[in-house]
Amino acid sequence: MKYTGLFLGSFNPVHQGHLILAETFASLEDMMEVWLVVSPQNPFKSNEKLMDFETRVLWAQESIKDNPRLRVSSIEKDLSVPSYTIHTLEALIKSCPDRNFVLLVGEDQLAGFHRWHRYRDILACVPLWVYPRHNTNFSTPIEFPYRLLEAPKIEISSTYIRERIRSGLSVRYLLPEAIWISCSKHHFWCG
């Protein structure tokens, strides 16, 4: 069976770490494609200042335009805010009934997975594949099935990039070239 991997996030901004992980997932033998699903608002990050949704989608599209195994989905734009994963899954399964989806999440998210909205329904909808995160020691109060993937432990985060930009430090090579140029030109996240 071939899967379509769902890599959900704010992508605020999309960075090289996201792309390395997405390519790693797309290279798995049982993976057909990986979709970067851009979220308008993560329910666990309601105070985060986000670049506008359309810009984040465009940047993600620009970042993967030459990779036929990666795709950007803006399906969450038409869903209620905040973006609950179960609503996204239900919408995708309804709109693409011929696809077998798998949810890709970081190991650091497992400890709190039982707090995700309707997490049991998520597990009933799709398999959960987990990628390693650096310095993660997690335990979860409940047992649930997941597949642990081999993937690079990426320490780059969008938060780190935004903090560097605000501090006037370079983020070149942390971002895809076109995104870096756009951030530099328009002084995003400064001030």
Question: 107-154 pLDDT, tens per residue?
Answer: 988 888 999 999 999 999 999 999 998 766 666 667 889 999 999 998
- How is the beta sheet containing 101-106 ordered, strand by strand? 70-73, 31-38, 3-9, 101-106, 128-131, 147-148
- The whole-number pLDDT of residue 150 equals 93
Domain 3-154 top-level CATH class = alpha beta
Would you write out the chain's pLDDT as a tens digit for each of its 191 residues?
A: 899 999 999 999 999 999 999 999 999 999 999 999 999 987 766 656 788 999 999 999 999 999 999 999 999 999 988 889 999 999 999 999 999 999 999 998 888 899 999 999 999 999 999 999 876 666 666 788 999 999 999 889 999 999 998 898 999 999 999 999 888 877 776 54
Contacts of 152 (CB under 8 A, 6+ apart): 20, 21, 24
For 119, counting Cβ atoms within 10 Å of its Cβ (0-12 exposed, 13-18 middle, 19+ buried), the class is: middle
**Per-domain residue ranges of the chain:** 3-154
Omega cis (within 30) before 13: yes
